[in-house]
Chains A and B, each alone.
Chain A
Amino acid sequence: MKMLLTGNEAVARGAYEAGVTYAAAYPGTPSTEIMETVAEYKGDILAEWAPNEKVALECVIGASLAGARVLATMKMVGVNVASDPLFCAAYAGVNGGLVLVSADDPGLHSSQNEQDNRYYAKFAKVAMVEPSDSQESKDMVLAAIEISEKYDIPVLFRMTTRVCHGKSLVETGERQQVGQRPYVKNLQKYDLVPAVSRKLRAGLEEKLKRLEEFSNTTDLNFIDWNDKGIGIISSGVAYQYAREVFGTTASYLKLGFTNPLPMDKIRAFAKEVGMLYVVEELEPFIEEQLNAVGIACIGKAKIPNMGELTPDIVAKALLDQIRPTIEYDSTNIPTRPPTLCAGCPHRGFFYELSKRKNIMVTGDIGCYGLGGSDPLNAKDTSYDMGSSISMGYGAQRAFERNNENMRTISTIGDSTFFHTGINSLIHVVYNRGNTITCILDNRITGMTGHQENPGSGFTLQGMPTKIIDIEEVVKAIGIEHIRKVNPLNLKEVEEAFDWALEIDGPSVIITRWPCILKKQNDADHKEFGDYRGTCMVAEENCIGCKMCIKTGCPALRFNKESKKVKIDASQCAGCKVCLQVCPVKAIRKVGE
């Protein structure tokens, strides 16, 4: 049957067809929908959210050793977190086939950096495939599982945003009925102590040699002969762009299996063509390896190694082609940055935080990063998952050493706290730190589109489960000063900051209110009640002071002519933050 699928949905379909029985992930754009779709194959595949990517990969490694075909998925920075087990898995190999999806984000649509994870395949010495559309995304999962089992090696499945979130037609197939392989205890394979790993390392080099032979012969790396004046080597979505621009005026060596590269096939192709171009998105992963063996080619000398590639860039760089566009003045179009939603529980918290002086706010990864944007501006840093607490700790130490009157406040979401924030908080307590940690619990993993997490009460496949209580965790770590607040109650938040700033020692403020976009479950209803509604401004009372506008709520409109504020009822969720800020009580909630 033909279906129109995103690359992410196609990977999930591929996992189903390949007979995968266990899969784990931590959500992250652009990878998230893979595991959400895998979860729909309930009964055939056990799909889980792990608290972080390292745990996800370790879980699938364990299942692979026990004989299952497995899949782990994550965004590219998640592979950094999971890199420790990845390197081990390369040495030990697999039992059931193991595929690790790395979803890279060229152009930084939704990421903190633009790393090219193809280098991980070379670094960790694992096999790699790179699909260029949805059909390949499905087919290559089946191929990768087969390669993994045949060559006893994990396969890195490298995708990019446009492959993940691009939709195209997919011919689907049936699920392979494969039994689970038997588990065989084998210390010489799975006990990575130095004496064993030395041998495994030598074995891995042998595997890579055999994989290069495979790379030279597999149809995953194919040549499309057309005019031989120009030859193009490309992989992933970059191949589609090259095809778009050059059509049949060039010949192509399209690489689907990219570690190890098919050097014999590349040499043969290079000999046949006139000019050889390597068209790659991001880094010169292929080009560098061609240069190393003396194959002349043009790549990054013309095509930038940063930003998302487009057919336009390829056409300009290699063909000097500039296509006409409509000329107009676009310099004065106001920007449209993402904002905290109307009714977002983070708004009240960040509004109060923005009023504090002599503080450094170390932020973290999630919607609450938007608390650092205009007009709230309550953020100094944002690095990697969990970094807010440890970076805040380090900064506090340096401020103390220098006798500076500065406190650090770390802001971290519930899911990010479970991810790696816990470790950092242990460091704070263990090393007698003096930071204020704010855990912003909105009862869901928000930014990536509402995934369950260890604090939400449900598993990915909808099983009710134990709620890991953040307060109990924090207590168990040894934090003695804990306050729980409603982040939409400004007085409560203000008092909590006053309280924490007075304490000489580590403290934790837990804000607890559901994401306004969250589909509330029974427990939410019980705890938070029916609070949604609309606020409105009594225009005759509004003095036009714009205090409410400083909360940055997108439902508030200031009319320059009338000098009055109006609330857009279609957006307002009735959170009442503006109502508390208004100095003349001109705002009320409808029905109260």
Chain B
Amino acid sequence: MAEVKNILLVGVGGQGTILVGKILSSGLMRAGYDVKMSEVHGMAQRGGSVSNQVRYGTKVYSPIIDKGQADILVAFETMEALRWLDYLNPNGKAVVNDYRIPSAPILMGKNDYPEGILSIIQGKVDTTVIKAGEIAKKLGNSRTMNIVLFGALVKGMNLTDINWEQVITSIVKAGTEDINVEAFRAGLK
């Protein structure tokens, strides 16, 4: 099934991967693709490592992406990029947010936050590093970091034919449409 594309979003519970998955899958559906998506709920969401998997093409069977199969890995948090790197196709692309959220063992001083993650990943695959946190903050709403990353994803997957601004406007919370569209445009640059 070579024509099926795999997008893997990873991050930390609470970072808004589910919203991006929703925007992404809605847009792909409107564009006429068969779409399947898989997300994580429940216990793992409480600050744990989360993934959101989107697959699209003419006909999709499995809702999950296997190791080595993602065409693009979008990591909302730097360390999570490394954790999920083996899910990326060696010929795929990585979009990594230069943004650290230390996990519990790091906060307690049991582990150190690993250094040099970006250069490890850059040495292995085609990588785009983005400071989505800073970009969102400059735009005036740190919480739109996820939509900045979504812009980078659309660029990375060359999905610019779809009218994403319309999709975003129809899905995000009322009153936040403009800032989210701005965040999307910033990520697309």
A243 within 8 A of B: yes
Contact between B48 and A338, CB atoms less than 8 A apart = yes
A125 within 8 A of B: no
- Among B41, B125, B142, contact of A165 (Cβ-Cβ < 8 Å): B41
- Among B46, B90, B109, contact of A339 (Cβ-Cβ < 8 Å): B46
Q: Which residues in A have their C-beta under 8 angstroms from that of B60?
A: 168
Interface residues of A, dominant DSSP? loop
Known contacts A244-B1, A326-B90, A552-B104: A312-B67 contact under CB 8 Å: yes
CB distance from B20 to the nearest CB of A (A): 13
A335–B44 Cα gap in the complex (Å)?
12
CB distance from A363 to the nearest CB of B (A): 14
CB proximity to A under 8 Å, residues B65-88: 66-69, 79-80, 82-83, 85-88
Contact between A374 and B108, CB atoms less than 8 A apart = yes
Q: Which residues in A have their C-beta under 8 angstroms from that of B43?
A: 29, 109-110, 338, 447
- Among B41, B68, B106, contact of A30 (Cβ-Cβ < 8 Å): B41
A570–B142 Cα gap in the complex (Å)?
10
B175 within 8 A of A: no
Contact between A334 and B106, CB atoms less than 8 A apart = yes
Q: Which residues in B have their C-beta under 8 angstroms from that of A323?
A: 66-69
Contact between A448 and B42, CB atoms less than 8 A apart = yes
Of the listed residues B48, B62, B64, B120, the one surrounded by the most CB atoms of chain A closer than 10 A to its CB is B62
Q: Which residues in B have their C-beta under 8 angstroms from that of A340?
A: 46
Q: Which residues in A have their C-beta under 8 angstroms from that of B49?
A: 336
Question: How does the 8 Å CB contact mask read for B19-53 relative to A, with 1 for contact and 0 for none?
Answer: 00000011001000011111111111111110000
Q: Which residues in B have their C-beta under 8 angstroms from that of A167?
A: 25, 35-39, 63
Task: Give the total of B residues in contact with A, Cβ under 8 Å.
Answer: 57
B157 within 8 A of A: no
Which of under 10, 10 to 19, 20 to 34, or 35 or more describes the interface residues of A? Answer: 35 or more
A307 within 8 A of B: no
Contact between A339 and B104, CB atoms less than 8 A apart = yes
Q: Which residues in B have their C-beta under 8 angstroms from that of A306?
A: none
Find the B residue at minimum CB distance from A243.
Answer: B61
CB distance from B120 to the nearest CB of A (A): 6
Q: Which residues in B have their C-beta under 8 angstroms from that of A2?
A: 29
A557 within 8 A of B: yes
CB distance from A433 to the nearest CB of B (A): 30
CB distance from A257 to the nearest CB of B (A): 20
A29–B42 Cα gap in the complex (Å)?
6
A10–B72 Cα gap in the complex (Å)?
28
Find the B residue at minimum CB distance from A315.
Answer: B66
A449 within 8 A of B: yes
Contact between A336 and B46, CB atoms less than 8 A apart = no
Q: Which residues in A have their C-beta under 8 angstroms from that of B88?
A: 325-326
Contact between A168 and B64, CB atoms less than 8 A apart = no
A583–B107 Cα gap in the complex (Å)?
20
Contact between A165 and B39, CB atoms less than 8 A apart = yes
Known contacts A247-B1, A336-B47, A341-B46: A375-B108 contact under CB 8 Å: yes
Question: How does the 8 Å CB contact mask read for A300-340 relative to B, with 1 for contact and 0 for none?
Answer: 00000000001110000000000111101010111111111
A554 within 8 A of B: yes
Contact between B105 and A335, CB atoms less than 8 A apart = yes
A29–B39 Cα gap in the complex (Å)?
12
Contact between B82 and A311, CB atoms less than 8 A apart = no
A237–B63 Cα gap in the complex (Å)?
8
A424 within 8 A of B: no
Contact between A552 and B108, CB atoms less than 8 A apart = yes
A400–B164 Cα gap in the complex (Å)?
67
A370–B104 Cα gap in the complex (Å)?
12
A2–B67 Cα gap in the complex (Å)?
31
Known contacts A165-B41, A323-B68: A558-B107 contact under CB 8 Å: yes
A367 within 8 A of B: yes
CB distance from A331 to the nearest CB of B (A): 11
Contact between A240 and B61, CB atoms less than 8 A apart = yes
List chain A positions with a Cβ less than 8 A from chain B. 2, 4, 29-30, 32-33, 109-110, 133, 162, 165-169, 237, 240-241, 243-244, 247, 310-312, 323-326, 328, 330, 332-341, 367, 370, 373-375, 447-449, 546, 549, 552, 554, 556-558, 560, 570
Q: List 17 A-B contacts (CB under 8 A).
A: A4-B37, A29-B42, A167-B38, A167-B63, A243-B62, A312-B67, A325-B67, A325-B86, A325-B88, A326-B124, A330-B82, A336-B79, A337-B105, A374-B108, A549-B107, A549-B109, A554-B104
